[in-house]
Amino acid sequence: MSAPRKATAESGEDEGDDYKSKDVISRETLPSSSQKKTPRSVTHKDLENADSSEKVKLSVQNFQPSNYEDLFKDATESESIWATSGSFLRDKSSSEDEELAGPSQTVPPQLSGIQIVSERELAQLAQVRPLEFSFREQSIIKDSFKMLEKKVAEYEILQEFMTLDFKSLPGAFNSGNELRNRDKNRYRDILPYDSTRVPLGENKDYINASYIRIVNSGEEYFYIASQGPLPSTIDDFWQMVLENNSNVIVMITREIEGGVIKCHHYWPISMKKPLELKNYRVFLENYQILQYFIIRILQVVRKSTGTSHFVKHVQFTNWPDHGTPASVDGFIKYVRFVRKSHLTGPILVHCSAGVGRTGVFLCVDVVFCAIEKNFPKFCPPELLKSVVLDQHQSVDVCFLQ
């Protein structure tokens, strides 16, 4: 597992004008994150990335601990994926790529590009093992699980969540309310704090995204939590990726769910044709479609300089908004694969709003790292509060059952 990176970027301080009542305009066009959304009529253009495939259930080989073999001996992942010639991959692609490589398709992995990770490697990654595991620790863990099951059954977990003091959390979010920035927000009631928002460029321009720093037993875990890009913010999104040197993007949503657009397409559909933006050109170099998530290798080229940056885009496709993951095992593999893939910069995580599924991912990732490192002190409520301290709005409650 790659060690968590130390923070290198600073949070942006907003120095915009104070919010004035005369600047207030009607924002009825922006939905609230909590309002019930009914499916609307969507044009063919809106639905060009919609998923129309059937779910395919794949068997996962079961590996017993006695046959455990370390498939990840090196500190970092194989460089072969990153060194693969983009022109070679684009030349070998067929017309099927126009459909399969872009939208959230769930199809057998043999229709993917060159294999990035095997099921065997994923199965091993899912085995979250403490460094030390004594008989006494086994007993403590068993008792803890029994207590957790009891709390879940009796809704005590939900009560603990509701008693967390979120209302008194400090932080203003004036930048997101500025007139010039309002159209950059997907939801009118989910804005980043001024103190932790991600600034863009020398002018510290606005994007709806926050730096999240979680410290546990001296280790700092560094993330960016973002909303799903809008058509008008796709350039800004890629600027954020490059400026923060992030090599992993975690996407926990489909583009369209229940007839509602949750996130606009910000990567190329085909390995033959790049996505052309104002300031960037994005190439799809490789991809692999697994049962519960899709891995894409993207190359982002800055047009002004010609410099390129490689990103691993990992999209979980079986977790509906306001729901739970379709498979606990699949989600564990997903989280662990992301952590193993992390090399540089903060891990960039987004769903639709950037506070529900995104917040759950951050908490689960830190918990798994804490288990592996045998951290003696670990408090889930405090972990949750540390996430909310850096985000406006709270993290959804999600029971992985």
Q: Cα angle vertex 315, ends 72, 307, to 5°?
A: 80
Amino acid, res. 115: Q
Write the DSSP symbol of residue 358: H
Nearest to 4 by CA among 166, 161, 160, 218: 218
Nearest to 207 by CA among 226, 190, 189, 222: 226
Q: Cα angle vertex 53, ends 267, 100, to 5°?
A: 35
Helix (H, G, I), strand (E, B) or coil at 13: coil
The backbone torsions φ and ψ at residue 288, rounded to the nearest 5 degrees and listed phi first, read: -145, 130
Helix (H, G, I), strand (E, B) or coil at 137: helix
- CA 143 vs. chain centroid, Å, equals 32
Question: Buried (b) or exposed (e) across 40-56, using 16+ Cβ within 10 A?
Answer: eeeeeeeeebbbeeeee
- Token duo for residue 26: 């009607």
Q: Cα angle vertex 77, ends 76, 78, to 5°?
A: 125
- Asked if 29 and 232 touch (Cβ cutoff 8 Å), the reply is no
Q: Cα angle vertex 386, ends 380, 392, to 5°?
A: 125
Distance CA 153, CA 144 (A): 14
Which of 351, 363, 369, 398 is catalytic? The answer is: 351
Whether residue 363 lies in the annotated active site: no
CA distances from 216 to 54, 123, 253, 378 (A): 41, 27, 28, 7
Catalytic residues: 351
